[in-house]
Chain A
C-alpha cells in the first residue's frame, strides 16, 4: 500500500510524575501550580511510539500537532528527535483551558488544513485533566471510525488493525482509513532519544509552523473555555510513617516479618 500519512497529537503538560509536594492549588486564582518542567503527556508519547513503528514498517510521514495557549517547541522537538517528520504548533491566546469539545474542534480544523491523512493517533487521555475524550470526539466530528485503548496498531490492506485492551483481555478490531486510534501504555514507552541527538536538534535552526485562530479560520463561538466553578486541594493523604531500621538486612527483615505476622 502507499506510505501512510500519520498525524499524532501531543499535549504539553507539567510533568504528571512530579512529586505531589511540588503541586499547589491556588484556590483564589483557580489554578494548579506545578513546580516541574513541562513534558509531553505520557500516553501521547506512547501514541508517537506506535506511529514510529508503523513508519519503520511501511515508510510514510508523521506530523505532530500540539495545541495550547503557548507551546514550547523545545519540549515538542523531542518528537522530531524520536522520529516524527514535521511539527505544527497550534497556538492562540483563545486556546486557554478549552472544553474537550472545543479542543477537538480546533484539531479537526487543523486536520482539514493539513488535508490528506490516513491515521490519527493520540494518547488515551492527557496527564493533566485525564478527560480521555478528545480522540473519540474528533472521530465523530470528522465522521471517521474511532478505536480506543490500543495496545498495538498496524496499518495493512488499506485499513488499520488494532489490538484493543478490553476487560477480559484484548480484542482485535479492524477499520477502514482514515481512522482515529487512541493509544494506551501497553504499546510501550517512546524510544530513547540520545541526549546528543536531542541537543543537536535543539540547535538546528528550523521553521516550525504556528497556526492560530486566524490561520485555521476558526469560529470564535466554538471556542468555549471550561466553566470552572471552584478548585480545591484533595483530601490529605498523609500518614505517620514508622521507619523500620536494623543493623543488617536480616535484622530489618526480622522486624518486618514480625510486623506482617501481627497484621494477620
Chain B
C-alpha cells in the first residue's frame, strides 16, 4: 500500500492533456509523502499508449489488457480497475473528471466502501494522518469546500487545469502487463451502437459568441451566426456557444454548452448575448481574455465580470453590428 495511482486516458490514440496533468499531480503527491506514482493503461491493445505514458518519470505503468476492455464499457472498466486495486492496494487513486472518470470513479469507490470526491481543483496530503485534503468548488463555484474522507484507497476525480502538464523525463518507467479477471457476465449494459455526431470543440475557437435564456426564439441564433460569419473574416476561428437553458430547450446540442457541465474555455474573446451570468456558466468562460456582454438588464451579473458591456436588445444591436463589420 504505497502507491499513488492514476488512470491514463487517450485522445485520438495519444495521451490526453488531462492525463499529463494527472501525472504531475500524482508525482507531486507521491513526492510529498514518500510514495511512488504509477499509472494504469486499460484497453484491448495498449502497447503504444503504455509506451508514451512511460516517458514521464512514473515508477510503473500497469498495462491492463483484455478483449472486453475494447471501447469503453463502464461495467468492464470498473471491473478491471477493481481487480487491479485489489492486487496492488494503492493508497491514493486519482482520475480525470472526464467522461470516463465520472463514470467509473463513483462505482469503484462504492466497491471499496470509500467516499469519492469529484471535480477537485487542489489536492494535498495531510502530514498528520496521510489522508488527502481535497478542494472542490461547490454551489456552481460560489464556494470552495475543503474536505477529507476516511478509508483506502483515497479516490478523487480532478478538474482540467488543476495541475501543470508533466514533462518528459530521462528514464523510462517499468511496464507490467496484466490480464484482469473479467468475464461477459459482468456486462449488465449492452452497447447497441455509437452514433458519431459533428461535435464542436469550443476550446479550439479564438472567439466564442454565446446565447442564453434571453434569446427569445431559436431562429434568433441566426443573428449570432451572422455575427460569427462577419467576425471570422478577420478574427479566425469563431464558434457559437450557449448556456444551459438553450440546451434544455433543445435548441442546441450539448457540445455547444459553456459552463460547469459543458465546456470550460478561455478564448481570446467571449461575447455573451442574453446571458444573465449564473455562476455555473461563469466558471466555464471566466478565463476568457476579453469578455463582452450584450443584455437588456443593466444589473445582471454578466456585466460584473465583463470588460465591455452593451445594455440593449440584441435584435437591434446584432444586425447593426454585422453591417458595420462588413463595411
* Chain A contact residues, CB within 8 Å of chain B: 14, 16-21, 23, 25, 32, 34, 42, 46, 99-101, 104, 124-125, 127-133, 136-137, 139-141, 144-148, 151, 165-176, 184-186, 188-189, 224, 226-234, 237-245, 249-250, 252-254, 256-257, 259-261, 263-264
Contacts and interface: CB of A to CB of B under 8 A. Distances in A.
Interface stretch (B86-94, B105-113, B166-174): B105-113
B308 A244 contact: yes
Contact of A229 (B102, B146, B231, B269): B146
B312 A252 contact: yes
Interface stretch (B21-29, B34-42, B47-55, B191-199): B191-199
B310 A234 contact: no
B261 A244 contact: no
Q: Is the interface of A mostly helix, strand, loop or mixed?
A: mixed
Given A16-B280, A234-B137, A259-B308, A130 B119 contact: yes
Interface in B149-171: 149-150
Interface string B226-237: 000001001100
B118 A263 contact: no
Given A127-B280, A129-B138, 18 more contacts: A17-B280, A34-B139, A130-B118, A146-B107, A151-B254, A165-B254, A167-B99, A168-B197, A168-B199, A169-B196, A185-B248, A228-B145, A234-B141, A241-B306, A241-B308, A244-B309, A254-B324, A263-B269
Given A32-B143, A172-B193, A173-B192, A136 B107 contact: yes
B1 interface: no
B307 interface: yes
A104 to B, nearest CB: 8
Given A168-B194, A171-B195, A263 B312 contact: no
Interface residues of B, number: 89
A169 B195 contact: yes
B111 A140 contact: yes
B324 A133 contact: no
Which 3 residue pairs of A and B lie closest in terms of their CB atoms, listed nearest first? Answer: A253-B320, A169-B197, A145-B188
Contact of A237 (B197, B249, B282): B282
Nearest to A136: B106
A127 B105 CA distance: 19
Contacts of B312: 249, 252
B188 A136 contact: no
A226 B147 contact: yes
Contacts of B113: 101
Contacts of A231: 143-146
A227 B320 contact: no
Contacts of A131: 116-119
A237 B305 CA distance: 6
Given A130-B118, A232-B143, A242 B307 contact: yes
A185 B119 CA distance: 19
Contacts of B261: 124-125, 184-185
A147 B269 CA distance: 37
Contacts of B146: 228-232
B307 A240 contact: yes
A17 B280 CA distance: 8
Given A101-B110, A241-B303, A253-B320, A186 B254 contact: yes
A46 B147 contact: no
Contacts of A148: 74, 102-103
Nearest to A13: B139
A57 B282 CA distance: 38
A186 B250 contact: yes
B253 interface: yes
